Structure 1
Amino acid sequence: MHSLNRLVERILAGLSGLSIALVFSIIFVNALRRYTLGKSLPWGEELPIYLTIYGVMFGVALAYMQDRHIRFTVLTEFLSERVRARLWLLVDGITALSGLGLMFAGHAFAVRRGNLDSSGLKSAAGWLSDTTGFETLLWIGKTGTWQYAMPIGGALLCLAATLKFAERLSALRSA
Structure 2
Amino acid sequence: MARIDRIAQAVLAAAAATMMALVFLIIFVNSVRRYTTGESIPWGEEAPVYLAIYGVMFGTGLAYLQDRHIRFTVLTDLVTERLRGRLFAAMDLATAATGAMLLWSGIAFAARRPDRTASGLIGSARDLAEATGLPALEWLGRMGTWQAAIAVGGAILVVAALIRFALRLREV
Task: Say whether the fold is shared (TM-score over 0.5).
Answer: yes
**In 2, distance between residues paired with 1:171 and 1:82?**
9
Q: Equivalent residue for 1:102?
A: 102
**In 1, distance between residues paired with 2:126 and 2:114?**
17
Residue type of the partner of 1:154? G
Structure 1 segments unaligned to the other structure (5+ residues): none
Shift of 1:75: 2.1
Residue type of the partner of 2:17? G
Cα deviation, 1:39-95, whole Å, max 9, x if unaligned, reads 000000000000000000000010000011000112211100111100001000000
The within-5 A match list for 1:6-17 is: 6-17=6-17
The within-5 A match list for 1:101-120 is: 101-120=101-120
The answer to whether the 8 Å contact 2:129/2:137 transfers is: yes
**In 2, distance between residues paired with 1:103 and 1:67?**
21
Q: Equivalent residue for 2:68?
A: 68
Shift of 1:171: 1.8
**In 1, distance between residues paired with 2:77 and 2:123?**
55
Shift of 1:3: 1.1
Aligned length: 172
**In 1, distance between residues paired with 2:19 and 2:134?**
25
| Partner SS, residue 70 of structure 1 | coil
**In 2, distance between residues paired with 1:135 and 1:20?**
27
TM-score normalised to the size of structure 2? 0.99
The within-5 A match list for 1:120-131 is: 120-131=120-131
Q: Equivalent residue for 1:19?
A: 19
Shift of 1:100: 0.4
The within-5 A match list for 1:86-97 is: 86-97=86-97
Shift of 1:142: 0.3
TM-score normalised to the size of structure 1? 0.97
| Partner SS, residue 101 of structure 2 | helix
Residue type of the partner of 1:90? A
Shift of 1:114: 2.0
Q: Equivalent residue for 1:160?
A: 160
Q: Equivalent residue for 1:79?
A: 79
**In 1, distance between residues paired with 2:5 and 2:124?**
38
Structure 2 segments unaligned to the other structure (5+ residues): none
**Larger deviation: 67-76 or 48-57?**
67-76
TM superposition outliers: structure 1 runs of 4+ over 6 Å: none
